[in-house]
Amino acid sequence: MTDPSATAAARRPGEQALTALGLAAPDPDPADASPHSFPGGGRWRTEIPSCEGPEALAVVLKESSRLDVPVHRISQGSGVWMLTDAEITEMVEATAERDIELCLFTGPRGTWDIGGSTRTDSRGAGLRARGHDAVAGCVEDAVRASELGVSCLLVADEGVLWTLHRARAAGLLPADTTLKLSALVGPVNPASYAVYERLGADSINVPSDLTLDHLTEIRRVSAAPMDMYIEAPDDLGGYVRMYEVAELIRRGAPLYLKFGLSKAPGIYPYGHHLRELTLATAKERVRRGRLALDLLARHGADGDMAPLGTRLPGALNRFEISS
């Protein structure tokens, strides 16, 4: 367990100048700090999202080396079924060489389905898997991906999450498979966050518009790793919260810092017709990561990064699986 008071001593943006002008901010409340960390030490990890295939992955790996951006996880959003076996294998091998966790999205989702409710103003059931066959498609993707060496699966439905957690417990998926909850269904209160943890989530995306107090509330009931877009895509609000990174870590640890990209066209489901856009945005996401990490360093808050190559979430609370 890392002492959360270590990050409280970090300099806040503009602190010296504002203090000299009589505009000093109140000292942060130690009670707001998360008491949790990743197993093995460290309070934050990094993730580059929307890496839609081997070519985009190669761009991310090259740019992360050039800009010295440490990467713990790389995730994809179009889905397992949008990749060939050869493409998945190439991505697995490339990330394994760098000891980076690869996370692929599972199965059908309601927003691409034939159901009309997702196209209404209410958005209906959103990304959730509609009907038995959609759940089956998600399970098919999960089994196929794991057989090809993928160790992390992205999920956007509570029933699919619970089903894959049961499959993992039953040995149908490798025991060290991690299940990541999509930002598109992320919980917005501590009660729902705790439920997703108990359903089997190993890291849980929360919407990027949650307040700092919301993060503190969540950390009072759950130690499950949290994923958060430091810069969110436009369809998730387009929020840019770089100057809050140190405080997001202090409140939300253990936290995955996700470097998304606002003001960029959508690329899901990816195909070669979107190649140039996908490669350009993949490169810029890494640069956004460098900008956020530079801010942390300037404020003396860049310590407590989890060791590269670490991926497991530690002991979490689960619902009992009945026989």
SS (H, E, C) 143-177: HHHHHCCCCEEEECCHHHHHHHHHHHHCCCCCCCC
Measured CA to CA, the distance from residue 102 to residue 104 in angstroms comes to 7
- Six token digits for residue 54: 């081997």
Terminal CA-CA length for the chain? 34
The whole-number pLDDT of residue 323 equals: 67
Contacts of 111 (CB under 8 A, 6+ apart): 118, 123, 126, 127
Contacts of 192 (CB under 8 A, 6+ apart): none
CA diameter of the chain: 65
Q: What are the helix and strand counts (H, E) for the chain?
A: 10, 8
Find tokens 């000891």 and name the residue: 99
pTM for this one?
0.92
What H or E segment, with its residue span, contains residue 183? none
The whole-number pLDDT of residue 116 equals: 60
The whole-number pLDDT of residue 4 equals: 46
Report pLDDT digits (tens) over 172-223: 999 999 999 999 888 999 999 999 999 999 999 999 999 999 999 999 999 9
Contacts of 22 (CB under 8 A, 6+ apart): none
Torsion sign (Cα): 6, 72, 106, 143? negative
What H or E segment, with its residue span, contains residue 122? none
Helix 54-66 to helix 85-97 angle, to the nearest 10 degrees? 20
**Domains of the chain (ranges plus CATH)?**
42-298 (3.20.20.70)
Which positions of the chain have pLDDT values less than 70? 1-8, 116, 118, 120-125, 323
Measured CA to CA, the distance from residue 94 to residue 89 in angstroms comes to 9
